[in-house]
Amino acid sequence: MENQVGEKVYPVKKKRVDAKVHVNPRISQSNHDRLKRIAIACDFTKTSMAAEFINLCLNNQNIIEYFLQKYNKNKHLSFTPTYINGEMVYREHGG
C-alpha cells in the first residue's frame, strides 16, 4: 500500500480496549509454593491465579483502605474506594 507521494504505508495495529498488561511481581519462595498449590487445586495456571488475587484485592474496599492507611505517602493523591452501581471506583479527594 502506498500513499499519494508513493511512500510505502504500513497499517497501524489497533490497540485492544480490553488488552491485558503484563505485571511481573517478585514473591518469596514460600508464597510461590502457596500460589502453585492453590493454582493446581483450582485447575488454574499460576499466572491466572495471581491475576485473580490481584483483581480480588483491587476490587475490595477493605484491602484498599488498609494499604492506603498503612502506606499512602502522598496525601495529595489520596482517594476513597467506593462502590457505584456495583463497580469499585476510586474517588479522588480534592488536593
Pair (71, 93) in one structural domain: yes
Q: Which residues pair with 82 in a beta bridge?
A: 89
| Mean pLDDT computed over 69-92 | 88
Predicted pLDDT of residue 17: 76
* pLDDT for residue 94 is more than 90: no
Query: Grid coordinates 519462595 are at which residue?
Result: 29
Collect all residues with Cβ–Cβ distance below 8 Å to 67 and sequence separation of at least 6. Answer: none
Q: Would you state the pLDDT for residue 72?
A: 86
Domain that holds residue 78: 61-95
Query: How many domains in the chain?
Result: 2
> Residue 2: pLDDT band by 50, 70, 90 thresholds?
low
38 within a domain of the structure (yes/no): yes
- pTM summary value: 0.71
Backbone angles phi, psi at 45, to 5 degrees: -80, 160
Which residue spans within the chain are E strands per DSSP? 79-84, 87-92
H helices within the chain, ranges in order? 29-41, 46-58, 61-71
69 and 95 assigned to the same domain: yes
- Residue type (1 letter), 85: N
